[in-house]
Amino acid sequence: MIFEWLLLLTGVASWALTGFLYRYALAKNLIDIPNERSSHSIPTPRGGGVAIVLSFLLVLPVLNKFEQLSTSICLALSGAGCAVAVAGFLDDHGHIAARWRLLVHFSAAAWGLYWLGGLPPLPVFGYWLDLGWIGYVGAAIYIVWLLNLYNFMDGIDGIAGVEAITACCGGTLMVWLVAPDSNVWLLPAFLAVAVLGFLFWNFPPARIFMGDAGSGFLGIMLALLSLQAAWIEARLLWAWLILLGVFIVDATVTLCRRVVRGEKFYEAHRSHAYQHASRVWGAHCPVTLAVCAINIFWLMPLASWVAMDKLDGTVGLVLAYLPLLLLAYRYNAGDRQAQSELGK
């Protein structure tokens, strides 16, 4: 019963902290002013994602105290999450050069991987693949990419929060299907309720934005939780990659097309598929709800089949991503010239 009350307290704390940060941002003039690269038209306070960071990180030592979370996992999440959140907070309040942000990101990834134990052997088309030290490098790149793509994808009201909540609910379900007696479900569950408290303020029309501190933190937490789940059952990594498919596909297709054109991929833009879609539909809410529906009705069932070993992980990943790739091209992911007439 204590954990149910702790879940409720975490959600309420996140909601209350977001309200405090909303008033703080107004008082300190921390306002996101719309420009030609924005997907919003109204000046809006930013930095509300700090509420997610604080409410989630504060519960970790409590879980450790009650022996529901190992010290190594507590250190992995706390250390990596704090580093990324602080870098994002400073960037929200000023500007940090991209090279220094990347240095922090890779350092945080290395810290998290050290305490988690790296990348476990993975099942690929029925065979077990142990990548050794190459796996550490690949896992670090995966963590940093998921961290940054989450920042890229946090561009319209509610989308980053909805993605995190549905992915975490799916991750909780996957653990329950594979290891019902395990307490590993607690971490994605607590992260989901922390995001839910913030989403109350961020759901369209948003009263406050997440900011880099929140989006970067969510990205690295989801990456580390997926790797932690893989140590419980290796095929759960494939399940997590399926659950995060909307963000991974849109961001990756957009990045690749921008790199091919020779653009500076790290600069702000609004050429993601979800951004084009929001202009086509004339609002953020339909796109955010569509992402929620895709996650629940398409990606979660496929992830469940993979978790229950009824479908090979790599096959499930391909099946999950194919329609998402079609949607990405349908809504011109990475095409800066796409016009709003797309959906007419």
Q: What percent of the chain has pLDDT over 90?
A: 75
Q: What is the pLDDT of residues 187-196, one digit of tens each?
A: 999 999 999 9
pLDDT computed for residue 35 by the predictor = 61
Radius of gyration in angstroms for the set of CA atoms belonging to the chain, rounded to a whole number: 19
Q: Using an 8 Å Cβ cutoff, are 303 and 242 in contact?
A: yes
How confident is the prediction for the chain on average, in pLDDT?
Answer: 91
Residue range 234-245: mean pLDDT, rounded: 97
- CA dist., res. 95 & res. 93, Å (int): 7
- Cis bond upstream, residue 323 (ω within 30): no
pLDDT (mean) for 92-113: 91
Q: Got the DSSP string for 265-312?
A: TTS----SHHHHHHHHHTSSHHHHHHHHHHIIIIIHHHHHHHHTTSS-
Q: Domain ranges in the chain?
A: 2-248
Which of the four pLDDT bands, split at 50, 70 and 90, describes residue 36? low
Cβ burial, residue 176 (10 Å; 0-12/13-18/19+):
middle
Residues 6+ positions from 243 with CB-CB distance below 8 Å: 166, 167, 170, 171, 174, 295, 299, 300, 303
For 175, the token pair is 């653990």
